[in-house]
Amino acid sequence: MAREQVVASLDIGNSTVRCVISVISPDQKDPHIVGIGEAESLGIRDGMVSSIEEVVSNINTAVENAERMSGLAVHHVYIGTSGSHIETTPSRGVIAVSTQEISEADVERVIEAAQNAPIGRNSHILRIIPKSFSIDDQEDIQNPLGMSGIRLEVDAHVISGNVSILKNLERSAHQASIDVNDIIPAPLASAESVLTRRQKELGVVAIDIGSSSTSVTVYEEGSLVHTAIVPIGGASVTKDIAIGLRTSIDAAEKLKTEYGTNIVDEVPEDEEIDLEKISKIDSHIVSRKHLSEIIQARYYEILMLVKEELKLVGRDGVLPGGATLSGGGSKMPGTLELSREVLSIPVQVGYPQGVQGMLDQIEDPSYATAVGLILWGIHNSSIDSGSRGELSFDFGAITKMIGDFFKKLLP
Ligand SMILES: Nc1ncnc2c1ncn2[C@@H]1O[C@H](COP(=O)(O)OP(=O)(O)OP(=O)(O)O)[C@@H](O)[C@H]1O
Ligand SMILES: [Mg+2]
């Protein structure tokens, strides 16, 4: 008999570890969020695990906070991994069709054949996402199931991550006594929670400005077109402020989040900030105009690099669904306006959607990845086995790598 199931996620970011616990009931479509927890992420540097001990301790804190709020215990999680170690490689798979009609098994086989992508020696495939299929000489087929032909080909995106980073994340979760259902690239998870089906059909880019990097994920006609990581995020903005205004990193972070803006013109020339008010070790006075100029210069660079990625796939300025901005870095005032100017498309905040409960707390673009991990997990695997504790992160499972391809075809 169907029953309630607990699905949890851990977004192990470069600045924050976030845990979200949800409950899925058989009579409700959307997962119900019942607990969230956060911890400062001190064991990850530029996407790499710099201290397993720290990561374990940060995971424990985030999970305990979410458990306390929900009154539920977390035994399994979907983990999100972010940063420049995530790579997307185009790949092609070809097979001979075994019967007259193309079956699910044939589609699985051809996607499996696309595993032969030229990925790095230390990379592990996390997802294979089909772009389109060809049957004999007929190209651009979205769903080949039931069609007839002799040769089936697929054009796919192979998304991979660095093996030692993935293993260290899994090890950290195990040391925190948590099993890993799956490790999911954070850019895909984030896009999953902020984009609507309609936007994905029209053509849209989900931009997640994190701490160490900014992810760019483009969808069109319902399919993934491009995903890339720009290796600059909010931490670079903070560093620029510390250098430019000669402050400590802590004071720079406070200046950024409490006084920062991307709209330089709105800041009066003579507005000053006394660092003594926000810092124990800094005591000089800085110009808020200068602060905003430093911030805007770095955000402009990030957005220009996003624009380059869109140019690369011929989608610069031509995405009718516009752009969404998520991640903590998107909370800088004026970022929507600056993005509209640089990208020349409509831009809106990427709030996590598709869930119920605790909406006040998760109506925050920083939660896009953690909420998206839950949605991605639900859409991509048999949750039933997760709740009985039978799923474990399997480095070879092709069905997980293929993800929700078959589910996407359902009406
Ligand atoms: N109100 C705010 N205004 C401007 N920047 C902010 C604000 N709040 C958070 N940030 C910045 O957002 C960044 C953290 O964002 P987020 O929590 O999405 O990162 P993360 O997921 O931990 O990192 P990553 O995705 O790179 O692994 C930090 O650089 C932080 O300074
Ligand atoms: Mg993140």
In this structure, are strands 223-230 and 214-220 parallel, antiparallel, or unpaired? antiparallel
The 10s digit of each residue's pLDDT in 312-323 is: 999 999 999 999
DSSP assignment of 44-68 equals EETTEES-HHHHHHHHHHHHHHHHH
Length of the chain: 411
Ligand 2 centre to CA of 274 (Å) is 31
Ligand 1 centre to CA of 115 (Å) is 34
Distance CA 267, CA 378 (A): 45
pLDDT > 90: percent of the chain: 81
pLDDT at res. 192: 95
Closest atom, ligand 1, to C-alpha of 256 = 4
Judge contact between 43 and 51, C-beta under 8 A.
yes
Ligand 2 centre to CA of 153 (Å) is 34
- The ligand whose atoms approach the alpha carbon of 238 most closely is 1
Q: Domains of the chain: which residue ranges?
A: 5-84+163-195+352-395, 87-159, 228-348
Looking at domain 5-84+163-195+352-395, its CATH architecture is: 2-Layer Sandwich (3.30)
pLDDT at res. 384: 37
Q: How confident is the model at residue 28 (pLDDT cuts 50, 70, 90)?
A: confident
DSSP assignment of 153-199 equals EEEEEEEEEEHHHHHHHHHHHHHTT-EEEEEEEHHHHHHHHH--HHH
> Which CATH number applies to 228-348: 3.30.420.40, 3.40.50.300, 1.10.510.10, 3.20.20.70?
3.30.420.40
Closest atom, ligand 1, to C-alpha of 215 = 25
Topology agreement, domain 87-159 and domain 228-348: no
Query: Within a 10 A sphere around the Cβ of 25, how many other Cβ atoms?
Result: 13
Q: Inform me whether the pLDDT recorded for 67 exceeds 70.
A: yes
Q: Inform me whether the pLDDT recorded for 401 exceeds 80.
A: no
The 10s digit of each residue's pLDDT in 361-379 is: 899 999 999 999 999 988 8
Closest atom, ligand 1, to C-alpha of 368 = 18
Ligand 1: residues with CB < 6 A are: 13-16, 41, 82-83, 210-213, 233-235, 238, 253, 256-257, 260, 327-329, 331-332, 366
Ligand 1 centre to CA of 197 (Å) is 26
Ligand 2 centre to CA of 16 (Å) is 8
pLDDT at res. 309: 98
Closest atom, ligand 1, to C-alpha of 14 = 27
Distance CA 39, CA 93 (A): 42
Using DSSP's 3-state secondary structure scheme, residue 38 falls into strand
In this structure, are strands 285-287 and 179-185 parallel, antiparallel, or unpaired? unpaired
- Give the residue-averaged pLDDT of 228-249: 97
CATH fold of the domain at 87-159: Dna Ligase; domain 1 (3.30.1490)
Distance CA 63, CA 196 (A): 29
Q: How confident is the model at residue 109 (pLDDT cuts 50, 70, 90)?
A: very high
pLDDT at res. 325: 98
pLDDT at res. 2: 63
Distance CA 301, CA 231 (A): 11
Q: Inform me whether the pLDDT recorded for 411 exceeds 50.
A: no
pLDDT at res. 40: 97
- In a mutational test of the pocket of ligand 1, which residue from 15, 79, 232 has the highest number of ligand atoms less than 8 Å from its CB? 15
Q: Name residue 303's amino acid.
A: L
Q: Residue 138, class by beta-carbon neighbours within 10 Å (0-12 exposed, 13-18 middle, 19+ buried)?
A: exposed
- Give the residue-averaged pLDDT of 367-395: 64
Judge contact between 168 and 49, C-beta under 8 A.
yes
